[in-house]
Amino acid sequence: MTAFPVNKHGVVQKPRLLEEVRARIRAKHYSRRTEESYTQWIKRYILYHGKRHPKDMGAGEVEAFLSSLATERNVSASTQNQALAALLFLYRDVLGIELPWLTNLTRAKPRERLPVVLSVAEVNRLLARLDGTHALMARLLYGTGMRLMECVNLRVKDIDFDQREIVVRDGKGGKDRVTVLPQALAAPLREHLKRVRMLFETDRAANLPGVYLPDALVKKYPKAGMEWGWQWVFPARGLSTDPRTRIRRRHHAHEQALQRAIKRTAQAVGIAKPATTHSLRHSFATHLLQNGYDIRTVQELLGHSDVSTTMIYTHVLNRGGRGVVSPLDSF
């Protein structure tokens, strides 16, 4: 249970709404990204209705706000769903109010877009131009199918060189899974971890706090954050203050640095497609299917809960548009 502050008269002070939202999110061990997303949507909801308190509003106001996202802001269905999840959390978990079924909600139309997939030649050009840690991280994304945040959140203990596999912890939907460790990356990863080990030993000698661990793990293993196995595979160069605990420690590398490096490098090597870190994951899945691996194997490696999500990559098995030979090519 969250402890509320007490004023000088000994009276318990109820926190402000957003502070209470953050406290409930942390009590449920949601990620920091979820915390940021939920609090931003709740702020926008309150501002949309002239700063009225959510407890004085209900289903009608929720429907009006969410519908405006679809009709006025033209947001995607997934973005509207994020906002809906944030408001349902606010009412159910923070205010203790069960909203009725939102029957008058105008839903954003799902946009069926094919993923941006790089050819093998384009991947080769991109990876060849990158260097240093960014090159290693990009190779991991393409060679394992990991998402960007799964890569930056890797811990040393999650890499099994003997079994040639990587355990992806707490992936999308809070699920763990196992993916392949490319043999070509075994030696570069070992060399990288030697340098990380030196940084780790320097931090220990300086008596710095250990790496971040979820609250439940901290309580169960209070010294685990100072053990080698729990260290980040890709630690940040400098220290930063944890916004939740206010502890100054070494966090993992910031994901935006790799995002920018890939975008910049893709342009430099003449890739016209809007290549991102996620394009490497799409390319991993697509190239596996092209090489004859079955859809269920690819589904497991990607961590998709439903094979229908993975099926989007089967479009690449058709050469040209839907496998059709243009009549122009018959001349």
The CATH H-level (homologous superfamily) assignment of domain 17-94 is: Tyrosine recombinase, N-terminal domain (1.10.150.130)
The reported pLDDT for the residue numbered 112 is 75
Which tokens is 102 given?
Answer: 């939102």
260 has catalytic annotation: no
Which tokens is 186 given?
Answer: 């075994």
Chain segment 46-101, per-residue pLDDT in tens: 999 999 999 999 999 999 999 999 999 999 999 999 999 999 999 999 999 999 98
22, 147, 250, 252: the catalytic one is: 147
The reported pLDDT for the residue numbered 1 is 41
Residue 207 contacts by C-beta under 8 Å, 6 or more apart in sequence? none
Residue 137 contacts by C-beta under 8 Å, 6 or more apart in sequence? 151, 152, 234, 253, 258
139, 250, 252, 281: the catalytic one is: 281
Look up tokens 């460790």; give the residue: 181
The reported pLDDT for the residue numbered 32 is 83
Q: 222 burial class (0-12, 13-18, 19+ CB within 10 angstroms)? A: exposed
73 has catalytic annotation: no
Q: List the end-to-end C-alpha distance of the chain, in Å, as a whole number.
A: 75
The reported pLDDT for the residue numbered 4 is 47
172, 249, 251, 254: the catalytic one is: 172
The reported pLDDT for the residue numbered 322 is 57
Three-class SS state of 161: coil
Question: What is the residue-wise DSSP string for 4-30?
Answer: PPB-TTSPBPPPPHHHHHHHHHHHTT-
The CATH H-level (homologous superfamily) assignment of domain 120-316 is: Intergrase catalytic core (1.10.443.10)
The reported pLDDT for the residue numbered 21 is 95
Q: Which residues in the chain come in under a pLDDT of 50?
A: 1-4, 12
38 has catalytic annotation: no
Q: Domain segments of the chain: what residues? A: 17-94, 120-316
The whole-angstrom separation of Cα 285 and Cα 145 is 7
157 has catalytic annotation: no
Q: Is residue 184 a contact partner of residue 195, using CB atoms and an 8 Å limit?
A: no
Chain segment 171-186, per-residue pLDDT in tens: 777 789 999 999 999 9
The reported pLDDT for the residue numbered 219 is 81
281 has catalytic annotation: yes
278, 293, 319, 322: the catalytic one is: 278
Note the Cα 234 to chain centre separation in Å: 16
Side chain identity at residue 287, one-letter code = H
287 has catalytic annotation: no
The whole-angstrom separation of Cα 205 and Cα 134 is 27
